[in-house]
């Protein structure tokens, strides 16, 4: 990458598109690898994510397959992540035998009111020749326009309104230090002991607790009925905040967004939980109706669990 302070205008490509969807919804579609694979790439291309480490310095490894079956492996490094404003990537690897063109690509998201988002993609190449090469060899301008169009189709097909279909906010004071409370959310063997409202229980199949990590869990009824859900941790700030997105099987991808903040209250912890469902469906109708009661019972159990652990009784 050319680090000179001279103008880069002769080695740039900039594309913009206004999407008919809230910025939060667009951000989720760009930070959940399960959703990215549904829209990334020009028309006729298929994308498969092989590795996703969503943090500055982390790598995204994925393979794009063209309409003719040709495969294009990519390795991308995340340079900057500012939720929900922008993501900057650097291309650090491509198809073996192809000319390697390293460049910086930045996605910027600008909210245009509550229901529209302007997405701008800005490429900066090392030289003008490298920029011209990808335009001629890969049709990157037209391909970029098609990719933004596919992103718009993805974020609008499941969202019909600017406001979420369901929203819940809860606050609770836990009589335990913030580090102790945060730990109860971050370790699967602890989460399983309190997260499901009794007499239900929680079965954790997978829990990769980090930004970009996936989870797969299920609530088990007393009769043994499983109610599965899965998703991705979007942001983990120890011991301040956890943000994740997920969905129930059969629901729109990334339909549920949950943010839990932890505030230090001098030996106690204030929890602020905010959950939204982008759209209501027959699948999530039952869980949303019982969400407030379920969350209240769950936080009661968290309070009891943290007090017991703090006293060292088990």
Check whether residue 153 and residue 172 sit in a common domain: no
Task: List the CATH number of the domain containing 86.
Answer: 3.30.530.20
CA 183 to CA 111: how far, in whole Å?
A: 34
Do residue 42 and residue 128 come from a single domain? yes
Q: Has residue 289 been placed in a domain?
A: yes
Query: Which pLDDT value is given to residue 314?
Result: 38
In a domain, residue 2? The reply is no
Query: Is residue 254 domain-shared with residue 294, that is, in the same domain?
Result: yes
Domain boundary (106, 139, 157) is at: 157
Looking at residue 10, the DSSP 8-state letter turns out to be: G
| Any domain includes 3 | no
- What is the number of structural domains in the chain? 2
| Cis status of the peptide bond prior to 128, with omega within 30 of 0 | no
* Cβ(307)–Cβ(175) below 8 Å: yes
Question: Which pLDDT score, from 0 to 100, does residue 311 have?
Answer: 53
Give 11-31 pLDDT, tens digit per residue: 999 999 999 888 888 998 899
8 A C-beta contact, residue 77 and residue 54 = no
- For residue 64, the enclosing domain spans 9-157
Q: pLDDT tens digit string along 199-233?
A: 999 999 999 999 888 999 999 999 989 999 998 89
Whether residue 122 sits in one domain with residue 224: no
Q: Which of 157, 190, 222 is the last residue of a domain?
A: 157
Structure tokens at 161: 């309104």
Instruction: Establish if 69 belongs to a structural domain.
Output: yes
pTM of the shown model: 0.54
Q: Is the same domain home to 174 and 261?
A: yes
| Cα(224)–Cα(127) distance, integer angstroms | 61
Based on the fold, state whether residues 14 and 146 are members of the same structural domain: yes
Boundary-marking domain end, from 110, 138, 157: 157
Burial class (CB in 10 A: 0-12, 13-18, 19+), 224: exposed
Provide the percentage of residues in the chain whose pLDDT is more than 70: 91
Which is nearest to 100 in space by CA: 109, 112, 92, 108? 92
The answer to whether position 1 is within a domain reads: no
Which helix or strand (DSSP H or E) is residue 301 part of?
A: helix 291-310
């Amino acid at each position: 990458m050319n680090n000179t302070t001279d103008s880069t205008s002769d080695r740039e490509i900039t594309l913009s598109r206004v999407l008919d969807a809230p910025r939060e919804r667009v951000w989720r579609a760009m930070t959940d690898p399960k959703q990215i694979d549904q829209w990334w790439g020009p028309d006729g291309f298929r994308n498969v994510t092989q590795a996703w480490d969503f943090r500055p310095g982390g790598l995204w490894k994925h393979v794009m397959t063209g309409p003719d079956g040709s495969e294009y492996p990519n390795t991308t490094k995340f340079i900057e992540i500012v939720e929900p404003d922008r993501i900057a990537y650097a291309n650090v690897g491509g198809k073996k035998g192809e000319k390697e063109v390293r460049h910086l690509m930045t996605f910027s998201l600008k909210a245009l009111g509550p229901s529209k988002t302007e997405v701008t993609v800005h490429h900066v190449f090392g030289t003008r020749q490298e920029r011209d090469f990808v335009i001629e060899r890969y049709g990157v301008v037209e391909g970029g326009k098609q990719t933004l169009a596919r992103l718009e189709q993805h974020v609008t097909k499941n969202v019909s309104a600017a406001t979420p279909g369901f929203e819940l906010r809860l606050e609770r004071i836990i009589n335990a230090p913030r580090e102790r409370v945060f730990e109860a959310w971050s370790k699967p063997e602890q989460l399983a002991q309190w997260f499901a409202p009794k007499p239900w229980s929680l079965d954790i199949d997978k829990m990769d607790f980090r930004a970009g990590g996936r989870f797969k869990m299920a609530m088990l009824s007393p009769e043994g009925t499983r109610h599965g859900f899965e998703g991705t941790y979007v942001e983990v700030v120890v011991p301040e905040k956890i943000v994740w997105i997920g969905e129930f099987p059969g629901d729109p991808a990334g339909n549920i967004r949950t943010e839990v903040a932890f505030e230090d209250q001098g030996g106690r912890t204030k929890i602020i939980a905010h959950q939204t469902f982008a759209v209501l469906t027959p699948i999530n109708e039952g869980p949303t109706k019982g969400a407030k009661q379920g969350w209240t019972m769950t936080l009661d159990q968290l309070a009891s669990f943290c007090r017991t652990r703090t006293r060292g009784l088990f």
